[in-house]
Amino acid sequence: MTSVATNKADWALTELAAAGRERREIEPLTDTWPELDEMTAYAIQKRLVVGHVKDESSRISGIKLGLTSVAKQKQMSVGEPIYGLLVGSRMIDEGEPLQIASLIHPKAEPEIAIVTSAALQGPGVTADQARKAIGSASAAMEIIDSRFKNFRFTLTDVIADNTSAARHTISTYRVPAEGLDLRTLGVVFEKNGEVVSTAAGAAILGDPALGLAWLANKLAEHGESLPAGTVVMTGALTDAIAIAPGDVVRVTIAQLGTLALRCV
Ligand code: OOG
Ligand code: MG
């Protein structure tokens, strides 16, 4: 990074951190910094998340994929996947409500969470290798909350903003991956008892295992790898929906069961 980029990265970090702390929307970073590149954006993301580590609970607890489905890529007008960092203290335990007032303009989206059973080191990780490294799968939901006004952003904005990651909830019912074909699992997403969208596991790049392979290969570009035992949220299977106090959102995935979240 040049010193100009370093100064701009410091500025971006301050903007993002303040917006999150004060729960307010900001304009995309690239409105004033169009040259923001992917490597710099991932470096900002890491500093943003690591800057919040105060104790064990605020440490990085997993990784999330974003924009891995056609539905999401279309909704957000960004055509490639991204990854972000999950933090333990932002996980909502099953049965615990989501406090809407703690967020800016949250949306909920249904996902499949997996836990890896083997380390993956890119580059060159194939779907087959990734599939064999999936230990278990669970129904999950992510609550995204972009710091950017109206969720308007470019690829590098959303990467720097830790891919809109705000909260996540993962079913404690973990299904061993052996014999499970994630591609063919049906998904029903409901809000207040009404079906808002449906999908299948294959909505994630044709196979969630391809998402995992993409992640391992992307991390390799940053000199990082995926250890065994990593929790990975594989990305929204359908469009995200806005949520407000009083709403209940629920995802049901064939063989993985149901997970509900009450908003207060
Ligand atoms: C970016 C995050 C996308 C997903 O699962 O696709 C994401 C956004 O839509 O704000 O988490
Ligand atoms: Mg997501």
pLDDT at 3: 74
pLDDT at 152: 96
pLDDT tens track for 7-39: 999 999 999 999 999 999 999 999 999 999 999
**At 155, which amino acid appears?**
L
pLDDT at 56: 84
* Ramachandran region, residue 136 (left: φ > 0; alpha: ψ -120 to 50; beta: rest): beta
Distance (Å, rounded) from C-alpha 141 to C-alpha 108?
Answer: 7
pLDDT at 1: 61
Closest atom of ligand 1 to CA, residue 235: 5
pLDDT at 77: 93
Average pLDDT, the chain: 96
**Structural contact between residues 258 and 252, judged by C-beta atoms closer than 8 angstroms:** yes
pLDDT at 54: 82
0.85 exceeded by pTM? yes
Ligand whose nearest atom lies closest to the CA of 75: 1
pLDDT at 9: 97
The pick from 86, 112, 164 for probing ligand 1's pocket by mutation, whose C-beta has the most ligand atoms within 8 angstroms, reads: 164
Distances (CA, A) of 213 to 119, 149, 226: 11, 32, 10
pLDDT at 67: 97
Distance (Å, rounded) from C-alpha 35 to C-alpha 38?
Answer: 10
**Domain architecture of the chain: domains with CATH:** 3-262 (3.90.850.10)
Q: Tell me which residues of the chain have a pLDDT lower than 70.
A: 1-2
Q: Return the residue whose CA atom lies nearest to atom 4 of ligand 1.
A: 66
Q: Which residues form ligand 1's pocket by a CB distance below 6 Å? A: 66-67, 72, 76, 109, 142, 144, 146, 151, 158, 163-164, 235-236, 240
